[in-house]
Amino acid sequence: MHDLIEGVDRFRRDVFPAKADLFARLARTHRPATLFIGCSDARVVPELITQSEPGELFVVRTAGNLVPAHGPGPDAVAAAVEYAVAVLRVGGIVVCGHSGCGAMTALAEGHDLSAAPAVAGWLRHADASVARAARGGGVDALVRENVRAQLANLATHPPVARALAEGSLALRGWIYDIPTGSVEELDAPALTA
């Protein structure tokens, strides 16, 4: 915790004063251009990877960058997607997978998750990804198929389907490679509204 407190002190002393005008503007308006859905993995920092300023990205981070398909009942990811698309009117959504993803590794290698039942339940949202990657390719193939599956899941959300039909929203799938810093854009699957 001491490192965090020192970081806040540096932010208040060095960063905030240099960006005071930006923060004053952000206090009055919230208009991010993109919803970035990434993994909770601490090594994947959307603002750092994209070199975005505060206010430019609306960020959702989940284990395995999973987006459950639209369904009944409360869902924090669905609420964030709905808010970003219907209220903030973002023009793009990026689903970003990454190399060495612990969630995808656990699925690809069949790890025993009985001691982590909430994690095991959450990772069921990747069942389609696992089925698609079943032909082989290991973790890397699963990471790719998972991004594609999450893009398809996004299209099941009514605000996303409407925005896609109107042509006001673009979906992108990315793979971030941690050791090289490269970002590969996947071809988006054909999505229908």
User: Strand, helix or coil at 40?
Assistant: coil
Catalytic residue among 39, 96, 125, 148: 39
Catalytic residue among 12, 30, 43, 124: 43
Q: Which residues of 27-40 are buried (b: 16+ CB within 10 A; e: fewer)?
A: eeeeebebbbbbbe
At which residue do the structure tokens 């009514």 appear? 158
Is 39 one of the annotated active-site residues of the chain?
yes
Catalytic residue among 96, 101, 125, 144: 101
Catalytic residue among 70, 98, 125, 157: 98
Catalytic residue among 41, 70, 125, 144: 41
Is 96 one of the annotated active-site residues of the chain?
no
Radius of gyration of the chain (CA): 18
Is 21 one of the annotated active-site residues of the chain?
no
User: Strand, helix or coil at 163?
Assistant: helix
Distance CA 154, CA 70 (A): 8
- CA 119 to chain centroid: 17
Sign of the dihedral defined by the CA atoms of residues 123, 124, 125, 128, in that order: positive
The residues that are catalytic are 39, 41, 43, 98, 101
